[in-house]
Amino acid sequence: MITFTVPPDYPEQKVRYFLASQGRVSSTLWKKIKWHGQLFINGQYINNAAKAIVRGNDIISYELAADSKLIPCNKPLNIIYEDDWLLIINKPAAQIIHPTNKACCDTTVNIIAGYYIKTAQKTGCHPVYRLDRNTTGLIIVAKQPQIQYYLTKSHDKICRFYKAFVSGHMHPKEAMFCEPIARKNTSIIEQMVSQTGKPALTRYNVLSEKDNYSLLNIRLYSGRTHQIRVHLSHAHHPLLGDDLYGGDCTLIKRQALHAYRIIFIHPITKKKFDISIPLPEDMLQLL
């Protein structure tokens, strides 16, 4: 159940317009609430959500039925944090987020579906962002679509930090990549820097250096496909292990990229979260 309180001096208006003005629901979510959900105002069930009016100090609550067609998978799930609205996990390498076809049933969301069954949770599975198959680290999963919408409507809702091992030594030691990114014309997977692409911002700073590779701290300011991998490859310092973008695979067999830290304000409790996890074993060995 999601609950909001209308500010005391808020003008009388339809509940739909109030929720939209607060950035809480998209038009798609509102339709789900209206036709398949339950809406309450001051604890009273509203039979006709489209005509419902709210006033200052009213308490609005709504709930959507969980509708999942995911095939549950009984594999381990590394849970970092969980409450009634969010699940934060540490994704391992060699695992994709969503199924790519009907036969694919061992993805992150399938494993979460299996976990929900084991813990008797009737809730949804809505990843707030994705990590590549061989990128490890923190993923936020919303249990309600409206929570996912709130956290994804603006990229600055979540500060995302990565650690990466790259070929060579970076100069300067701290900088921002600002090159736009687009899909490569000759590939359905590979991305490239292109002036016709979408804006992409990646900041890095060097943490340490070895003879022929470096450890970077990276912050994403946008979320393009393969963004970190493309920017580093374009700078002639590809990720170690990233064979798609020219990385050296002699020291590690997958791209050496780990989403180690997230900072965000909880959409319901308004508590600030700052969560960090250590490097996985294969990247620790590079230290």
- Decide if 40 is inside a domain: yes
Per-residue pLDDT averaged across 191-205, rounded? 97
- Decide if 266 is inside a domain: no
Last residue of a domain, one of 153, 184, 204: 153
List the single range of 96-110, 115-129, 251-265 with lowest mean pLDDT.
96-110
- Decide if 275 is inside a domain: no
- Decide if 59 is inside a domain: yes
| pLDDT on residue 103 | 62
First to last CA, the chain: 46
**221 and 162 together in one domain:** yes
User: Is the confidence at residue 137, as pLDDT, over 70?
Assistant: yes
Task: Please report, as a single letter, which amino acid is at residue 72.
Answer: P
132 catalytically annotated: yes
The model's pTM is 0.81
- CA-closest candidate to residue 144, choices 36, 67, 71, 79: 67
Three-state secondary structure of 187-237: CCCCEEECCCCECCCEEEEEEEECCCEEEEEEEECCCCCCHHHHHHHHCCC
The confidence band for 156, taking pLDDT boundaries of 50, 70 and 90, is: confident
User: Is the confidence at residue 192, as pLDDT, over 90?
Assistant: yes
**133 and 179 together in one domain:** no
**141 and 193 together in one domain:** no
User: Is the confidence at residue 158, as pLDDT, over 80?
Assistant: yes
**90 and 144 together in one domain:** yes
* Helix H or strand E encompassing 260: strand 257-265
**190 and 131 together in one domain:** no
- Decide if 271 is inside a domain: no
- Decide if 264 is inside a domain: no
Last residue of a domain, one of 64, 84, 110: 64
Radius of gyration for the alpha carbons in the chain, expressed in angstroms and rounded? 22
Per-residue pLDDT averaged across 180-204, rounded? 95
% of the chain exceeding 70 in pLDDT: 97
**95 and 22 together in one domain:** no
Per-residue pLDDT averaged across 25-52, rounded? 82
User: Is the confidence at residue 274, as pLDDT, over 60?
Assistant: yes
- Decide if 51 is inside a domain: yes
User: Is the confidence at residue 67, as pLDDT, over 60?
Assistant: no
**60 and 137 together in one domain:** no
User: Is the confidence at residue 65, as pLDDT, over 70?
Assistant: no
pLDDT in tens, 206-230: 999 999 999 999 999 999 999 999 9
Q: Name the DSSP letter for residue 101.
A: S
User: Is the confidence at residue 260, as pLDDT, over 80?
Assistant: yes
- CA-closest candidate to residue 141, choices 130, 131, 126: 126
Q: Which two tokens stand for residue 83?
A: 């409450």
Per-residue pLDDT averaged across 78-107, rounded? 91
| pLDDT on residue 152 | 86
User: Is the confidence at residue 26, as pLDDT, over 80?
Assistant: no
Per-residue pLDDT averaged across 153-172, rounded? 94
- CA-closest candidate to residue 257, choices 226, 234, 235: 226
**126 and 183 together in one domain:** no
Last residue of a domain, one of 96, 130, 153: 153
| pLDDT on residue 230 | 98
List the single range of 58-62, 217-221, 263-267 with lowest mean pLDDT.
58-62
CATH code of residue 179: 3.30.2350.10
List the single range of 43-57, 110-124, 272-286 with lowest mean pLDDT.
43-57
Q: Of residues 112 and 37, which shows the higher confidence score?
A: 112
| pLDDT on residue 102 | 65
- Decide if 172 is inside a domain: yes
**79 and 137 together in one domain:** yes
Catalytic residue among 67, 84, 106, 132: 132
Matching residue, tokens 């309600």: 144
**How many domains does the chain contain in total?**
3
**103 and 16 together in one domain:** no
| pLDDT on residue 105 | 83
Per-residue pLDDT averaged across 22-28, rounded? 75
CATH code of residue 6: 3.10.290
List the single range of 41-55, 185-199, 231-245 with lowest mean pLDDT.
41-55
**49 and 101 together in one domain:** no
Per-residue pLDDT averaged across 257-264, rounded? 98
**246 and 180 together in one domain:** yes
Task: Give the residue numbers spanning the domain of 98.
Answer: 69-153
The confidence band for 182, taking pLDDT boundaries of 50, 70 and 90, is: very high
List the single range of 51-55, 100-104, 147-151, 253-257 with lowest mean pLDDT.
100-104
